[in-house]
């Protein structure tokens, strides 16, 4: 597996003497204003302002404040909206009592999942990077990520950028029983199975609370007889007897934005996809999506949304990222042949339909 390991890298391991083209420097004003603006986006979303603005043609501020509850501070809400107007995302009318989205605001609202993920989920890790660097802080102990906000941001992006692509891809896949690895609250597997009469599904996730919520999600969808939520470590399920009978019925496996975590341990990395095949002996199709490390060869002079934050956050957590070429080598080593490869919503993210050979 030397060739595979030769490709492994993290953002921090890109050679200092690499001479590829680099993005133009971010100015001081862009850096500071961007920091503030990201917080404004997250605040608008957490307050529910984006949902109201997208649902209605205008937001009535006094009514919005009243609906926010007795503890809501009108002055603070108005200041957040005024800052959003300064950023050009909304216009304030009628003395500030009415708010409407601008076209730029509509785009920000559509892409708010990035801010939920970054500001809501990884603010502690990125904001306290110096503690991780100088040894005064440890990820997972006193420097934490907000798992709920990471999941929420990922879900927002899934709805806005990925669900349609996944539906188009799965429309070409003939499955009877499908398993979703890292399924969260099983919303995706419930949606997929619900759209395909006669099919069944398994939602596998390590989180107890997520699995508990999954039971409710499945029940609300009226799919308790067709979808099962299972709490398990995806790596653990590869070598345990538990759930063996249910796993043996699976003919299609899907997993999204979990693979880089599964590949984090270099001692198990080369066998991950072989172990998945062993865990699902009847599976002939694997639909796998992930965000990958920006390739050095791209020589990009622009910096897309998300990539820098994704790479830095994972480097700080000690989770290595890998290039598209590395994934494809690992797939090939497990005798998984790509049938289809499509861009998957966020920058440097790809969705693979793989056939077992």
Per-chain mean pLDDT for the chain: 88
Contacts of residue 154, Cβ cutoff 8 Å, sequence gap at least 6: 113, 117, 257
Q: What is the pLDDT of residues 141-166, one digit of tens each?
A: 999 988 888 878 888 888 888 888 99
The average pLDDT across 69-85 equals: 95
Q: What is the pLDDT of residues 268-298, one digit of tens each?
A: 999 999 989 988 999 999 999 999 998 764 5
How far, in Å, CA of 66 to CA of 52, rounded?
Answer: 14
Minimal CA–CA distance to 180: which of 210, 213, 203, 208? Answer: 203
- Three-class DSSP category at 65: helix
- What is the predicted pLDDT for the residue at 299? 63
The backbone torsions φ and ψ at residue 178, rounded to the nearest 5 degrees and listed phi first, read -120, 140
Among 227-231, 243-247, 278-282, 288-292, the range scoring the smallest mean pLDDT is: 243-247
- What is the predicted pLDDT for the residue at 237? 59
Contacts of residue 225, Cβ cutoff 8 Å, sequence gap at least 6: none
Length of the chain: 357
Distance from chain centroid for Cα 111:
12
Q: What is the pLDDT of residues 17-36, one digit of tens each?
A: 444 456 788 999 999 999 99
- What is the predicted pLDDT for the residue at 298? 52
Q: Which residue has the higher pLDDT, 162 or 3?
A: 162
Among 77-86, 136-145, 292-301, 315-324, the range scoring the smallest mean pLDDT is: 292-301
- What is the predicted pLDDT for the residue at 252? 97
**Percent of the chain whose pLDDT exceeds 90:** 66
CA angle 298, 302, 304 (to 5 degrees): 90
- What is the predicted pLDDT for the residue at 295? 77
> The tokens of 241 are what?
């007897």
Q: Which residues pair with 201 in a beta bridge?
A: 178, 227
Kindly tell me the burial class for residue 85, based on how many C-beta atoms sit within 10 Å of its own C-beta (0-12, 13-18, 19 or more): middle
CB 279 within 8 A of CB 237: yes
The average pLDDT across 83-91 equals: 97
């Amino acid at each position: 597996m030397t060739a595979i390991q030769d490709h492994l890298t993290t953002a921090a391991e890109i050679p200092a003497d690499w001479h590829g083209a680099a993005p133009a420097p971010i100015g001081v004003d862009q850096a500071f204003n961007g920091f503030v603006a990201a917080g404004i986006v997250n605040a608008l979303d957490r307050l529910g302002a984006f949902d109201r603005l997208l649902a209605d043609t205008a937001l009535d501020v006094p009514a919005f404040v009243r609906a926010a509850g007795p503890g809501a501070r009108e002055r603070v809400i108005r200041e957040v909206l005024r800052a959003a107007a300064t950023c050009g995302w909304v216009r304030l009318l009628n003395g500030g009592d009415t708010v409407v989205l601008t076209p730029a605001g509509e785009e920000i609202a559509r892409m708010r999942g990035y801010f939920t993920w970054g500001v809501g989920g990884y603010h502690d890790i990125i904001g306290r990077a110096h503690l991780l660097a100088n040894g005064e802080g440890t990820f997972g102990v006193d420097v934490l990520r907000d798992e709920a906000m990471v999941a929420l941001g990922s879900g927002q992006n899934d709805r806005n950028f990925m669900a349609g692509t996944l539906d188009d891809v799965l429309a070409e896949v003939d499955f009877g029983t499908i398993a979703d690895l890292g399924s969260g609250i099983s919303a995706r597997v419930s949606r997929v199975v619900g759209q395909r009469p006669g099919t069944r599904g398994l939602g596998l996730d390590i989180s107890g609370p997520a699995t508990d919520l999954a039971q409710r999600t499945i029940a609300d969808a009226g799919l308790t007889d067709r979808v099962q939520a299972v709490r398990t470590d995806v790596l653990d399920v590869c070598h345990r007897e538990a759930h063996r009978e249910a796993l043996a019925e699976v003919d299609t496996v899907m997993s999204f934005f979990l693979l880089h975590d599964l590949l984090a341990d270099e001692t198990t990395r080369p066998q991950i996809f072989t172990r998945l095949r062993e865990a699902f002996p009847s599976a002939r199709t694997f639909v796998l999506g992930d965000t990958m490390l920006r390739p050095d060869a791209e020589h990009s002079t622009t910096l897309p949304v998300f990539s820098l934050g994704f790479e830095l956050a994972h480097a700080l957590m000690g989770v290595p990222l890998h290039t598209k070429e590395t994934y494809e080598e690992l797939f090939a080593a497990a005798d998984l042949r790509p049938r289809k490869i499509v861009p998957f919503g966020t920058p440097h993210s790809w969705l693979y339909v793989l056939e077992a050979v």
